[in-house]
Amino acid sequence: TFFCEYKPGLEGIPAAKSSISHVDGQKGILEYRGINIEELTKKGSFLETAYLLIWDRLPTKEELKQFETNILYHRRIKYRIRDMMKCFPETGHPMDALQTSAAALGLFYSRRALDDPEYIRKAVVRLLAKIPTMVAAFHQMRKGNDPIQPNDELDYAANFLYMLTERKPDPLAARIFDVCLTLHAEHTINASTFSAMVTASTLTDPYAVIASAVGTLAGPLHGGANEEVLLMLEEIGSIENVRPYVEKCIANKQKIMGFGHRVYKVKDPRATILQDLVKQLFGETGQDPYYDIAVELERVVEENFGHKGIYPNVDFYSGLVYRKLGIPDDLFTPIFAIARVAGWLAHWKEQLAVNRIFRPTQVYTGVHNAPYIPIEER
């Protein structure tokens, strides 16, 4: 018996009760634990946001200090993980490297004591601490360098940029990167979060939960779109080519990367904040030709698709920010993952508290009593 209509992509079907985040797709509002994202990005930090998402309240000054210290302490990765990563092909995509390495953490830390709050706390700290180190380590090793050790003088965002470039970033760059992490930290039940929840619901270890979410985030319809946006802006190449490009996409029924969202039918509030950050960065580092193309593209897409509710999503401007920060294109999605680990862990914890294994049903469309045809007769 089917109680509800089949909806491709489970559109509009609630898969859980959750108090972690809220999206109003008509008004363009995103809240983490009830706090507006604009306020959080102005006043808070990424680690404070991660704490809020995972433990359901803002930390006190002491709690935040302790959390930051614990993360700093766990940032290093074991040499066996580093050596394993050394064997990865340097042409491999960093998301694949990250998925493999995240899963490998389970080999070292999987005690699977899911009813022990101390185990949960440590898993949260280890994953938040080590994922950025693994992304940066793979990037260094694929260039033939040794990984750069985390720098204890630097905070979470600054340290990641340092491990990537071996230069201490200037404070504005580090602050902007921290804001980008906060913006990407959580977004209700999207594909990767759902994947994390399904994996969590089997009571497997948290490293498997994060590894499965990373694999899901990698696709071009989800986190992979930010990398595609930059490729698209390069392909367009000039403001004059924007309109012909959009017309070609319409004729070929091809989606324009960085636009559209299952929930938002107006401009994604994260895209607005990211666009402001791009402008701030330009003040520091000069104009970027791709920004002008992006603004024109937004205008032409709105003209053609605005009536369908197709506006820029989070991925449209994030790539421009990252490129300005000197980050290679294929690390954009791993950076999304670094941030989203906070949201995935929050949903993992929420799932464990009320767990029932996910086991949806299907609408069977096959035949019955089909004959087995012997192989010689096929």
d(C-alpha 102, C-alpha 98), whole Å? 6
- β strands within the chain, DSSP E: 21-24, 29-32, 35-36
- To 10 degrees, what angle do helices 225-236 and 289-305 make? 100
Choice among 205, 261, 268, 347 that is catalytic? 261
**261 in catalytic set:** yes
* Nearer residue to ligand CMC within complex by CB, 205 or 228: 228
* Nearer residue to ligand CMC within complex by CB, 193 or 351: 193
Q: Residue for token digits 């895209």?
A: 271
Least CB distance from residue 255 to ligand CMC, whole Å?
Answer: 4
* Nearer residue to ligand CMC within complex by CB, 142 or 347: 347
Least CB distance from residue 184 to ligand CMC, whole Å?
Answer: 9
**Which distant-in-sequence residues (6+ apart) come within 8 Å of 50 by Cβ?**
128, 185, 341, 342, 345
Least CB distance from residue 309 to ligand CMC, whole Å?
Answer: 8
d(C-alpha 107, C-alpha 207), whole Å? 9
Give which of 230, 215, 191, 194 is closest to 315, Cα–Cα.
230
For ligand CMC, the binding residues (CB under 6 A) are 9, 190, 221-223, 225, 255-262, 305, 308, 310, 313-315
Choice among 315, 329, 330, 368 that is catalytic? 315
* Nearer residue to ligand CMC within complex by CB, 106 or 319: 319
**139 in catalytic set:** no
Least CB distance from residue 167 to ligand CMC, whole Å?
Answer: 29
With vertex at residue 285, the alpha carbon angle to CA 281 and CA 288, rounded to the nearest 5 degrees, is: 80
Least CB distance from residue 264 to ligand CMC, whole Å?
Answer: 8
Beta-carbon count within 10 A of 58 CB: 15
Least CB distance from residue 105 to ligand CMC, whole Å?
Answer: 23
Local structure of residue 185 (DSSP, 8 states)? S
* Nearer residue to ligand CMC within complex by CB, 221 or 231: 221
d(C-alpha 3, C-alpha 13), whole Å? 12
Q: Which residue lies nearest ligand CMC, judged by its C-beta?
A: 260
d(C-alpha 232, C-alpha 211), whole Å? 28
Residue 2's region, left for phi above 0, alpha for psi from -120 to 50, else beta, is: beta
Give which of 315, 30, 310 is closest to 187, Cα–Cα.
30
* Nearer residue to ligand CMC within complex by CB, 21 or 190: 190
Beta-carbon count within 10 A of 234 CB: 11
Q: Which residues are designated catalytic?
A: 261, 315
